[in-house]
Amino acid sequence: MEGNLPLQWVLNANQQISRGVRMASETIQPIVHPNGQFKDPVSAYRQIDLASGREEAVFPLWQLTLVRLTPDNYDDMGAMGRPYLDANRTVWQKLIMTEEDLVLRRRQRAPLRMAHVLEGATKDDLDDYRQGVEQDQQDITTDYYLNKKGGVQAVQGDANLDQIADVSYLLDTFFAGAPAPKGLFGMVGDLNRDILEDLKRDYFEEIDALQDTQAEAYEEGFRLSLLLNSINPDSVDFRIIFAERRTDTPNQRADLALKYQAMGVPNDMVWSAAGLDPAKVRAGRDAQSSANDPYPTDGQIAPRVSVTPGNAPKGESMTSIENN
């Protein structure tokens, strides 16, 4: 929504990072030279009051980490990031205005109206006539009876209320510059499924870039935490890992797992492709195997089962079971 993620690192009494507070990016202003470099790392960012423009606080470079989405110049620290929907702001405002106008038009022009014309009637006559007609209409629609020259004419509602091509056009224009295709939100229309898959793949790439940007801010927080603990961050191997997104259905995961199994992929990778934990699968299978054992031992010695083909008495089984 904002295109910027400013995180203020809050220290506790032991000078350790206790939490990271997300600041309102519209109130954060970098203090930089014309070339885009910070004037002083001790006073890198200021927070201002939007109403008065008064400076509320100043943050050093280590205390506030700001990551940006697609700024005009990555080398210019004074260039703030741009939201994903920055280019569609004007179209979005027009779309909201057009939809509101459409609703007002339906409410005002859709109903059927009646025009009562009483020629030569005074104001009192019109008021009495209107009161009588409206009183009758509260109960049931009635006929109209006039004792002077006049008439009642029907005024039809708007016959073009179903024409919303302008709204559809603005909606298509909005999603043309949006990172997500409108098909993901249920507005498919005549969109081909293959094209939707390509657009969805592009959208997930945008999400990956967004996660990388967030990981940059979190990494700065971890590095600062290690420095406060007198540990060189470059001597420690750590990574920021996000949970994998599940964009496929269970049937698609099962189909992929079967294909992996046919290719000779190890079982653990097959279960992982199916969305299951291999360790839990093995534990569950072992527990099920023990529960279905026809000869449970319960801590005793298992019986010995031997099969001697062709050595069974006539009419009897050739399987011999005896306890040791």
243 shares its domain with 274: no
| CB contact at 8 A, 69 and 207 | no
Residues 288 and 226 reside in one and the same domain? no
C-alpha of 188 from chain center = 17
On whether residue 132 sits in a domain, the answer given is: no
Domain-ending residue, one of 59, 83, 107: 83
Same domain for 196 and 263? no
Phi, psi of 95 (to 5 degrees): -65, -45
Residue 312 belongs to a domain: no
- Same domain assignment for residues 60 and 21: yes
| Residue 11 sits in the same domain as residue 64 | yes
| Whether 227 and 257 share a structural domain | no
Which of the four pLDDT bands, split at 50, 70 and 90, describes residue 322?
A: low
* Inside any domain, residue 11: yes
The more confidently predicted of residues 307 and 30 is 30
Asked if residue 278 lies in contact with residue 271, where contact means CB atoms within 8 angstroms, the answer is: yes
- The dihedral built from the CA positions of residue 224, 229, 233 and 238, taken in this order, carries a sign that is negative
DSSP string, 174-234: HHHSSSS-GGGGT--TT--HHHHHHHHHHHHHHHHHHHHHHHHHHHHHHHHHHHHTT--GG
- 240-249: pLDDT as tens digits: 777 766 666 7
Same domain, 229 and 274: no
Domain boundary, last residue among 29, 57, 83? 83
Query: 46 pLDDT band (50/70/90 cuts)?
Result: very high
Flag the least confident range among 34-38, 82-86, 180-184, 204-208: 180-184
Tell me: the pLDDT tens digits for 150-173?
777 776 666 666 677 777 788 878
- What the block records as the tokens of 244 is 């994998």
The predicted pLDDT at position 314 comes to 56
What tokens were used for 206?
A: 């945008």
Would 259 be classed as within a structural domain?
Answer: yes
**Averaged pLDDT, 3-29:** 88
- Judge if 256 and 221 occupy the same domain: no
Contact 76, 68 (CB under 8 A): no
Alpha-carbon torsion (91, 95, 97, 101), positive or negative: positive
> Looking at the domain assignment, is residue 115 inside a domain?
no
Q: Is residue 72 located within the same domain as residue 8?
A: yes
Domain match, 225 and 197 both: yes
Rounded CA gap, 157 and 109, in Å? 5
153 within some domain: no
From the list 219, 215, 176, 220, the residue with the least C-alpha distance to 199 is 176
Q: How far apart are CA 292 and CA 290, in angstroms?
A: 5
pLDDT band at 33 (very low <50, low <70, confident <90, very high): very high
Note whether 79 and 10 are same-domain residues: yes
- Return the closest-CA partner of residue 220 out of 5, 65, 42: 65
**pLDDT score of 302 more than 70:** no
Domain contains 102: no
Q: Is residue 314 part of a domain?
A: no
Say what percent of the chain tops pLDDT 90: 8
Number of domain units in the chain: 3
Average pLDDT over residues 228-233: 87
Q: Which domain holds residue 281?
A: 251-293
pLDDT in tens, 104-115: 777 777 667 777
pLDDT at residue number 236: 79
